[in-house]
Structure 1
Amino acid sequence: MSGPLEQGGQVPEDENTPRIPAPRAAGDDLTAGERDGGGPFVPAPREAGGAGPPAPARPGVPAPEPDAGPPSTPEPEPPSAAEPEVPVPEPVPQESAPLAGPPSHTVLKSLLGAWALAACSTEETDAVEAHLTECAPCADEALRLRDAVGLLQAERSLDLDPMLRARVLENCLGRRPARIPVPSWASPYDAEAARLDALLNDFGDAEWHAPVRLKWFEGERPTGRRTTVAGVIGHLMAVDALVATALGLDEPVPLDPEDAAGGPTARTEALWRAGQFPLTRSVREPWREQSHTLIRTVSFAGRGVAELAVEYGEFTLAMQDAMLDRAFECWIHAGDIAEAVDYPYAPPSGAHLHDMIDLAARSLPATLADRRRAGLASPPRGLVTAGSPGRSLRLEIEGVGGGDWLIALDSPAAVASPEHEVAHVALDGVEFCRLAAGHIPPQEAAVGQLGDREAISDVLFAAASLSRL
């Protein structure tokens, strides 16, 4: 079948059929584009009011700039009758499409942090809270996050709790196991030295030179000595050296043989006079190193070291009692320092306080005998031989670290017996320790008394006489 073009006919015009120009006859003029080797020239549609299309540019020659004519606004063509005008609807503001369904568990779990910070939208908050009533793991996680946010946004003073350091240190000492087991009788000194060192940690130069009054009891009256915070640490270091020399360790400060053979007072005076450790903050490091060395040495030494004798000049203590004595003095003087700088300081733990009270109670019969020989206590009642029962006083210590002790009144060699109890005294544990440290006079001690008044007075004065510089 032949088409219209093969038969020489014309294709009927249609508005959708592109117009194809007919071929030129021979002799027709060629356009510039055809003379240059281009294809047939197809004229571009003329714009309304325009001067016609620009001439095509030759290869390698820039096209001429069109003449800038006056701007013209094309008039809209009227709609044809065949194509009626269709009104265009105005745009309608789109609203957010509602959720197709509830968010998944993963999405809601990822919103828990924002929910805890109150950063979710209303819809998200409702969805999260509805999910928390159904999902226990997410509910637990939400509570933890809310607690964490509460810690971050707590409305409280920026000043730290003054007891925070003491509580943290006590908790660490109670929970942290030591690499080297410390003997139980050395643990009080280890703890009290660590607490004192923590108190000194943030001291500036002004605090190290703060005045401190050391107090003790002599004879029938209290006495004291003024020094500084640095002087107190020097005193502790000088007396600790008595334990160090008993263990074969070197003294931190070389002393004259006469001073070295003296008791705590002579050694303290010698160290205060020495120029090697001036009474400044520089004394802290050697004191701390010495206390650590003492703990390490007794921890490695084994069981036999507990009975090793420590010479205090006028008396002798076994090593385990000497370490308790050092713990007691460390606590008492730490309280003196804290009072000087207006800082709270808590007493030792109950177990350590009990051990310190026990040492003081066991020392009372010998101290009472010394006072009797000096004419400062009433004479014994009757003849008491070694190992025989004699008069006794019941010392009841109340509160943390308390207990009951029977004190032999007539002789240290006598046996305190409940059947021969003539008096009963009751004191608070910390109050008794302050009495034994010479910080309160016997007449002012808050005690409950029952029985022989003279025996009670002798014991209270003997307790105060346990104190020394």
Structure 2
Amino acid sequence: MTDDHDGVPELLAAWAFGALQPADEKAVPAHLAGCESCAAEAERLRETVRLLDVSPGTAAAGNGSPAARNGSAAVSRNGSAPGVTGGGSAGASVGGPAGADGVLALALRSRPALPRVAAHAAPYAAAVAGLRALLREVDGHGPWGTPVVHDWDVRDTVGHLIAADEQLAVRLGLQSHTPPSRTTEDTPWEEAWNTRTADVIAYERTRDPQETVATWAARAAALLATPEAVDPEPAARATTLMGVRLPVSDHFVVRAFETWIHSDDIGRALGLAVPPPPDAHLWQLVRLAVRVLGMALGPTAPPVLFAVTSGESSTEWVLGSEDEAVRGELVLDAVDFCLLMGGRYTPDEVPRGVAGDEDAVGNVLERAAALSWL
């Protein structure tokens, strides 16, 4: 092929799955580096690969590069298509030319079965699939002992997720993890959270990292197989976790939030870009985060018009007192808002748009950042 635009769109799906013909392996990435429209479409297709949890290269034999084996964690937040400096190496494609329709159809037929879950558990299922795919890349991009966040390395972070998932799992009738918990129902939730994390991480440090990953993956799968994950009716009952009383359905969204945040932590540590949740899932995280923030601010806080944006979508809420006129306006990007709530931005660092009373807006930002337990 030539470096012209003609012919490239038909090859983008093959590129996303690491199934390019040898003759196209250099030309397609070179074209993506200079063509915004093709780069954007390549990004969309690579994200599709990640969400399907299909390992690139399954459409062709002989694909051995780590980047080509895994489509997860491959889209950068700034919108650039990853991998434009190199494509996957592949042998002959299966079933004829590796056009977009053929490769995507093959991927859909060969993808692993995903758990059938209700809408409230879908973000958690997707976050689990994304982290599983990301963890398959660890050996190729850095040791398991790579520092990630707090004083945790990659394995420790997965161990923390085991402990974090356990709180919901036990409430839903699943067994607790080894070692036995030292906390009780009367233990303040912050102390219980920190104690259990420390105990599980200490135990997991005695095991092979792959055993830790297998334990986490099995616990996540068990959570997604509970009646509360597949049926909205039992998920409607409320329970208190991490000091907040919410329906079980919302606690599944919380699990999605934390799993994605720590996936992003691991990706940053390893130099792998982790994309945000799909837009529908991202808005589920945002809506829950706004509700929790509203409860934390209470009915007497100076009222602020709060807008969250994602692409061309935008939603507004009024936070604080209902008895006063709005005193300030705050605009945050959806991902930035989630990162602020997750403690990955300080109130001064998060990109924002502000109008009106800066003190009232600052109160919202500070309260959002203070809610993080991650």
Q: Could you say which TM-score interval applies, normalised by the shorter chain?
A: 0.5 to 0.7
**Equivalent residues in 2 for 1:252-267 (5 A)?**
252-258=177-183, 261=187, 262=189, 263-267=192-196
* Higher CA-based Rg: 1
Per the alignment, do residues 338 and 313 of structure 1 end up closer, same or farther by CA in structure 2, a change over 3 Å counting? closer
Structure 1 contact 423–456 (Cα < 8 Å) conserved:
yes
Q: TM-score, normalised by structure 2?
A: 0.67
Give the secondary-structure state (helix, strand or coil) at the position aligned to 1:185: helix
Task: Give the corresponding residue for 1:193.
Answer: 128
1:435 Cα deviation from its structure 2 partner = 1.1
Alignment equivalent of 2:23, drawn from 135, 145, 153: 153
What CA deviation, in whole Å up to 9, does each residue of 1:409-466 have, x standing for no partner?
14xxxxx58x832221111111111111111110122211112222101101111112
Task: Give the corresponding residue for 1:346.
Answer: 275
Alignment equivalent of 1:270, drawn from 199, 207, 211: 199
Mapped pair 1:210 → 2:146: yes
Amino acid at match of 1:298: P
Structure 1 contact 241–251 (Cα < 8 Å) conserved:
yes
1:276 Cα deviation from its structure 2 partner = 8.2
Mapped pair 1:405 → 2:316: yes
1:406 Cα deviation from its structure 2 partner = 1.9
Task: Give the corresponding residue for 1:443.
Answer: 348
Mapped pair 1:309 → 2:214: no
Per the alignment, do residues 363 and 421 of structure 1 end up closer, same or farther by CA in structure 2, a change over 3 Å counting? same
Structure 2 contact 127–259 (Cα < 8 Å) conserved:
yes
Structure 2 contact 297–319 (Cα < 8 Å) conserved:
no
Structure 2 contact 181–196 (Cα < 8 Å) conserved:
no
**Equivalent residues in 2 for 1:16-415 (5 A)?**
151-156=21-26, 166-171=47-52, 181-204=116-139, 206-213=142-149, 225-258=150-183, 261=187, 262=189, 263-274=192-203, 278=207, 280-298=209-227, 302-369=231-298, 380=300, 392-400=303-311, 402-410=313-321
Identity over aligned pairs, percent: 28
Give the secondary-structure state (helix, strand or coil) at the position aligned to 1:454: helix
Amino acid at match of 1:212: V
Higher helix share: 2
Give the secondary-structure state (helix, strand or coil) at the position aligned to 1:343: coil
Per the alignment, do residues 281 and 172 of structure 1 end up closer, same or farther by CA in structure 2, a change over 3 Å counting? closer
Structure 1 contact 437–464 (Cα < 8 Å) conserved:
yes
Distance in 2 separating the partners of 1:446 and 1:285 = 37
Structure 1 contact 259–270 (Cα < 8 Å) conserved:
no
Amino acid at match of 1:207: P
Structure 1 contact 426–448 (Cα < 8 Å) conserved:
yes
Which structure 1 segments of 5+ residues have no match?
1-115, 117-142, 214-224, 370-378, 382-390, 411-415
Amino acid at match of 2:357: D
1:328 Cα deviation from its structure 2 partner = 0.8
Once superposed, what is the RMSD of the aligned Cα atoms? Answer: 3.6
Amino acid at match of 2:131: L
Distance in 2 separating the partners of 1:257 and 1:281 = 25
What CA deviation, in whole Å up to 9, does each residue of 1:301-359 have, x standing for no partner?
63322223343243333211111111111111111101111111111111111110111
Distance in 2 separating the partners of 1:204 and 1:287 = 18
Per the alignment, do residues 275 and 346 of structure 1 end up closer, same or farther by CA in structure 2, a change over 3 Å counting? closer
My pick for the range that moved more, 272-281 or 442-451, is 272-281
Per the alignment, do residues 407 and 236 of structure 1 end up closer, same or farther by CA in structure 2, a change over 3 Å counting? farther
Structure 1 contact 272–279 (Cα < 8 Å) conserved:
no
Which structure 2 segments of 5+ residues have no match?
2-9, 15-19, 33-41, 55-103
Give the secondary-structure state (helix, strand or coil) at the position aligned to 1:404: strand
